[in-house]
Amino acid sequence: MEKGLKLGPGAFRDTAALRKALKGFDWAYFGSEFCENLLEPGLADGLRLLAGEKKDVCLLTPLVTDKGLRVLEGLFSAIRKMRFGRRFEISVNDFGVLGLIRRMRWSVPVSFGRRLSRDFALPDRGGVLSILNRDGTVLLKELKVGRLEMTLFPGALRLRRPEGAGKLRFTVFYPYMDIATSRTCLMGMPDVPPGESPATVNCARECLRANYGIKNDRIRETLIAGGNTIFVEWGGGAASRSRSARIDRLVFCPDT
Amino acid sequence: MRLLSCITDRREIPVFRKLGVDEVYFAVGDVPNYANTGALGAAADAPGTIRAAHAHGLKVFLAANGREDRMRDPDREVLVKKIRAIAAAGLDGLIVSNPGLFRLFAGEKIGVPLHLSSVQPCFNSGTARFFVERFGISRIILPNQLAAAEAAGILRYCRSAGVETEIFCYKFFGCPYINGACYLHEPEYYTLSGPQREDGMCRMGSGGSLAKVSPYRVFERDAGTIARTAARLSLRFSRGGAPRLLNASSFFDYCLAGVDCVKYGTRTDGTEAKIRNLRAIREMLRAVSDLAGRFPPEEARRRFVERAGSYGEGT
């Protein structure tokens, strides 16, 4: 079982601490998984630093508008000039981003991220991981996407290899499960005046300072707001015993 | 600009036609559709609905936009049979969201134009291109979380590719989260401590008392900003959700940008509510056309927004 660590805000402030944190992990997951406003120039610097470490690296990318697509095109061009000591992959959450990678004739391995994977496979609370339909699996093969990322419920101990999965592999992110994402961020966007036609999502990047626990009288679990996404903590170690389900990579996400 | 409405009862067809509706769409109970609500009979009843719509000069579409339904191989064959039968009755379009089902319907050559559901959100021109080139879709229903200015590239691409575009009316759209990927709707991913709200946990936030919000992990010490953000989060989570990009002003800009259709799609509304809301949308579309013809865009938009609260009032 491969192990990964998802790097959160501020991970690059202290290189020694970063190296220490990455000890014991094969993969460094880095980027912006849910929000295009966090596709910033610092990403290329971070990747440059990681390229020099003896770690496999996966770049996380979000759902994007045309603005984000342009940013990613620049970032991808910069990455293609970098030399990674070990494997490099891209996690994609938008079909437009996949199209961009293919148009650039870039043969980088692509996995579908937590948002896009739900079009193809879903876990349920009973612990079963299902492939939604075989046409989706065939499509993934045609698109040369061989890996889906997801979060599982604790019952995942009972997981068996999902029927119809073919050669698909699964990465499990833990301990938080994303349950709702909003482009217009609950925490980081000023209210839009009624008379204003917003040009885009303006935000002051408050999410880089903290994430937040939300206790609410209608939901038993503490919800966690991490940037523009709401998460529930579902634990995690369970999936480590599910190799037969083709889960061969676990990614620890301490900051969501 | 054409007006498209959901129907959940065949008797709505002539009434909606009189209100100026140009197109209708419906769902049936045995074809997976988003939220599986407001079904108008079963697939076997669909040809009758199609004939009724056509008899009134309306185009008619079927929602087959269940994004996360699990489908074993035998169910797949049954689904294709049903869709073929409905297509043969003259269906004008099939609204789809799941990529596997797009592949299935495009590959089976069912002979019906495919529409990209907002439940599979298209936020950029690359995504539009992906679905057009791979599956030959003929219409894109834009997600409500996209500003009119951000949609410019998609609209440009769609015009050049001969693909129609559709938006929701901002007044009648509930969920503030990314459409189709909101799991606050149903308590499958969390545990409710009381009865489920009728409109889910997402539409108006959690309701009830204000949520208690506190820093969970701090990355950068800035007590002032963190306290302000926590207060904002508490209010937004409990009272209405994140800000809306699709407001009256943005709706006006979309209309001016040449979107082809506006959709009223609240299948859970009763007929009386649908009539009231369709009248309001018709009034809005008339106002857009009237104001855009008489004033420069800025002034026309300002006047449209000024009157936004009154559309549909007293009708």
Domain assignments of chain B as residue spans, ordered by start: 2-177+245-310, 203-238
Residues B90-129 pLDDT 10s: 999 999 999 999 999 999 989 999 999 999 999 999 999 9
Q: In what order do the strands lie in the sheet with A176-181?
A: A176-181, A229-233, A219-226, A210-216, B212-218
What's residue A241's pLDDT?
A: 57
Confidence (pLDDT) at B313:
67
Nearest by CB: A225 against B128, B233, B244: B233
The pLDDT of residue A238: 56
CB-count exposure of residue B207 (10 Å: 0-12, 13-18, 19+): middle
Q: Which of B123, B125, B141 is nearest to B133 (CA)?
A: B125
User: Which of B134-143, B195-204, B246-255 is least confident?
Assistant: B195-204
CA distance A65 to chain B (A): 5
The whole-number pLDDT of residue A123 equals 83
Gap between the Cα atoms of B4 and B22, Å rounded:
6
Other C-beta atoms closer than 10 Å to the C-beta of B90 total 14
* Ramachandran quadrant class, B205 (left: phi over 0; alpha: psi -120 to 50; beta: rest): left
Contacts of B33 (CB under 8 A, 6+ apart): B27, B39, B63, B64, B65, B66
pLDDT at residue B245 is higher than 70: yes
Helices (H), chain B: 12-18, 46-55, 73-88, 99-107, 125-135, 152-161, 223-238, 248-256, 271-294, 297-306
Q: Does residue B197 register a pLDDT over 70?
A: no
Are the C-beta atoms of B168 and B265 separated by less than 8 Å?
Answer: yes
The pLDDT value given to residue A155? 64
B142 Cα distance to chain centroid: 8
C-alpha distances in Å from residue A147, one per residue of A4, A116, A144, A171, B268: 15, 11, 9, 7, 37
- Asked if the model's pLDDT at residue B154 lies above 50, the reply is yes
From chain A, the residues in CB contact with B299 under 8 A are: none
Answer whether residue B205 shows pLDDT above 60: no
B240: tokens are 């209405």
CA A116 to chain centre: 10
- Where along chain A do its domains lie? 2-174+234-252
Q: Coil, strand, or helix at residue B119? A: coil
Ranges of chain A with pLDDT below 70: 154-162, 236-245
Interchain CB distance below 8 Å, A254 and B217: yes
CA count, 13 A, side-chain hemisphere, A204: 11
CATH topology of domain A2-174+234-252: TIM Barrel (3.20.20)
Quick one: pLDDT at residue B315?
A: 45
* CB-CB neighbors (< 8 A) of B206 in chain A: 216-219
CB contact (8 A) between residue B146 and residue A97: no
Per-residue pLDDT, A245:
67
What is the overall mean pLDDT for chain B?
A: 91
User: Is residue B114 helix, strand or coil?
Assistant: strand
Q: Which residues of B touch A216 (CB under 8 A)?
A: 206, 208, 211-212, 237-238
Q: Test B98 with A225 for CB contact under 8 angstroms.
A: no
Consecutive H or E run containing B213: strand B212-218
pLDDT tens-place string over residues B262-309: 999 988 889 999 999 999 999 999 999 999 999 999 999 999 999 988
Q: How far apart are CA A236 and CA A211, in angstroms?
A: 19
CB of A251 within 8 Å of a chain B CB? The answer is: no
Tell me which residue of A164, A177, A191 sits closest to B241, measured CA to CA.
Answer: A191
What's the pLDDT at B293?
95
Question: Does the CB of A121 have a partner CB in chain B at under 8 Å?
Answer: no
DSSP chain A: -EEEEE--TTTTS-HHHHHHHHTT-SEEEEE-SS-GGG--THHHHHHHHHHTSSSEEEEE-----HHHHHHHHHHHHHHHTS--SS-EEEEE--HHHHHHHHHTT----EEE-HHHHTTTEEE-TTS-EEE--HHHHHHHHHTTEEEEEE---GGGGG--PPTT-TT-EEEEEESEEEEEE-TT-TTT-PPPPTT---SS-----GGGTEEEEEEETTEEEEEEEETTEEEEE---GGGGG-GGGTEEEEEE-TT-
Topology of domain B2-177+245-310, per CATH? TIM Barrel (3.20.20)
